[in-house]
Structure 1
Amino acid sequence: MATVAFVSHGGGPMPVLGDPGHADLVVSFADLAKDLPKAPSVIVVVSAHWETRGIEVTGAANPELIYDYYGFPAASYQLQYPAPGQPELAEGLVQQLAKQGLPVTLNGKRGFDHGMFIPLMLLYPEANIPVVQVSLERNLDPALHWQLGEALTKSLPEDALLLGSGFNFHNMRAFFTPKTDGMLAQVNQFQTWMDQLVENTDLSPQEKATAWQGWSQVEGGRYCHPREEHLLPLVVCHGAAQGGAKTYLSQVMGVPARHYLWG
């Protein structure tokens, strides 16, 4: 089975620009990098920053970078990560996902967004491993994204890395407000639920999938994720791996951050 990991990628390009509020996150990326395979045959990234009608897969041989963030220093728009695509694998992946009942198409023009290149600049800075991106379905249905994870793990080479790139907390307004006891209580309530679910080795895959379908009813869930696009890459990864994950702890701007690694 492919190696599966989820990363909290931080605020735009700030993790690679030396931002003090991201220093602890950068350390946690270094810790995770030590445990990842050194040379996977391909890295398949499910990014919070690409939503489509149906699932899409990048098929270009040399995708350009998409600087899909705004208001950051000029250096943010000069970042480079010249990893190649993998068109042959992408075409095969589309075929395999379609056979498993997913609505999926190949996108031969789309580039790599910062949900891909920011974490990979920290994890695989040489940019010499082929990368394929997979979109989220814009309906943001947890059940469909769990199914996507299950389908990906059946379709990828065993020496691949499946990387979910999102954030365990994504309330943008809360990042820039005082970290009150009440605010942190909501964050910790949901984070505890998430950690326990992702680390669990006793629940069946179906029980885990069902738990994700009710995530928004968990105390603090909607506070942490007013919109769930940064949570769903984690659902995809959990659907792919299904076992218990190792957790990497850090914080960003006073808020707990998490990476998870399976297998």
Structure 2
Amino acid sequence: MTTTLPSLFVSHGAPTLAIVDSPARRFLLELGRTLPRPKAILVASAHWETRGGPAVSLAAKPETIHDFGGFPAELHAMQYPAPGAPDVARRAAQLLSQAGFSTGESATRGLDHGAWVPLSLMYPDADIPVAQVSIVHGGSPGAHETLGAALAALREEGVLVIGSGSLTHNLYEFRSQPIDTAAPAWVSEFGSWMKDRLDAGDREALLDYRKLAPHAERNHPSEEHLLPLFVAMGAGGESARAERLHASFEYGILAMDVYAFS
């Protein structure tokens, strides 16, 4: 019997999460061991956006994409050689099309750092097949919740659906501060509002966070790093309960929250 998995929202922070010690890194190192083992993983990453609708990755052997610059050579040399999951990607495309999305396919798309960095901690053996689904450029939180809801059936088929982004993400505020810098009020107050609304199951407020949450635009000058949260929320199902599994801050400006929806 296949175990129904939760959907997850993972804050992946900076690419150095893969190599620099922090509470969030230590948490992710343990997280994979606490979950039922999935047959495959489908990641909606902030770092793959497509226009007009979502797309899925069909690569049988996805490359490790180093979509960043200026980081240590050790990080640029890292590989995450997980097999692809083209059958799961095609199933996802079918579900998305049935939900009314115009869905594309990429035969060559690899794993960007929003996927392989957290997965390298959660599943370091790289032995679980992985596919990606893109977020939609310019798509609303509501559209991404609907996208996630279309993928909810995968959870009953042994697939772990992960939205990978960051609960807060304003890199314009980075001033080379240490990783353990305390979060300013504009960051912590936004994170607390999100937690309160998620705990309450207040989806209407969450979908309108841009107007209702304190400091929303300062924490997300653009929305791509929060949209995976709505994918994970939708994939959890209509009556899903949000559970915060981890909370910490890095560099003062990155809230590293991890949520499960089930």
Using the size of structure 1 for normalisation, the TM-score is: 0.88
Partner of residue 231, structure 1: 226
Residue 193 of structure 2 aligns to a residue whose secondary structure is helix
**Map of 1:120-131 to 2, 5 A cutoff?**
120-131=119-130
The residue type equivalent to 1:222 in the other structure is: E
What residue is the counterpart of 1:211 in the other structure? 205
Question: Structure 2: how far apart are the matches of 1:96 and 1:7?
Answer: 23
- How far off its partner does 1:173 sit? 2.0
Q: Percent identity?
A: 37
Which residue identity does 2:100 align to in structure 1? Answer: G
Q: Secondary structure at the match of 2:121?
A: helix
Partner residue of 1:42 out of 40, 43, 47: 40
Letter in 1 for 2:242: G
Q: SS state of the match for residue 168, structure 1?
A: coil
**Contact residue 13 and residue 166 of structure 2 kept, 8 A:** yes
Instruction: Establish whether residue 262 from structure 1 lines up as the match of residue 261 from structure 2.
Output: yes
2:163 equivalent in structure 1: 164
2:150 match: secondary structure: helix
Relative to 1, partners in 2 of residues 1:142 and 1:228: Cα closer, same or farther, differing over 3 Å? same
Higher helix fraction (1 or 2): 1
Q: How many residues align?
A: 251
Q: 1:144 to 1:222 in 2, by over 3 A?
A: same
Local SS of the residue matching 1:71: coil
Where 2:25 maps in the other structure, the secondary structure is helix
Q: 1:155 to 1:99 in 2, by over 3 A?
A: farther
- Give me the TM-score of the superposition, normalised by structure 2: 0.89
User: Residue 230 of structure 1: SS of its match in structure 2?
Assistant: coil
Secondary structure of 2:228's aligned partner: helix
Residue 162 of structure 1 aligns with an amino acid whose one-letter code is V
User: Does residue 197 in structure 1 map to residue 197 in structure 2?
Assistant: yes
Structure 1 residue ranges (4+ consecutive) displaced by more than 6 angstroms after TM superposition? none
Following the alignment from structure 2 to structure 1, what is the Cα–Cα distance between the partners of residues 89 and 188? 38
User: SS at the partner of 1:229?
Assistant: coil
What SS does the aligned partner of 2:242 have? Answer: coil
Q: Which segments of 5 or more consecutive residues in structure 1 lack a partner in the other structure?
A: none
Structure 1 distance, partners of 2:61, 2:76, is 18
Contact 1:246/1:260 (<8 A) preserved:
yes
1:133-152 alignment to 2 at 5 Å?
133-152=132-151
Q: State the partner residue of 2:14.
A: 11
Q: In the alignment, which residue of structure 1 is the partner of 2:242?
A: 244
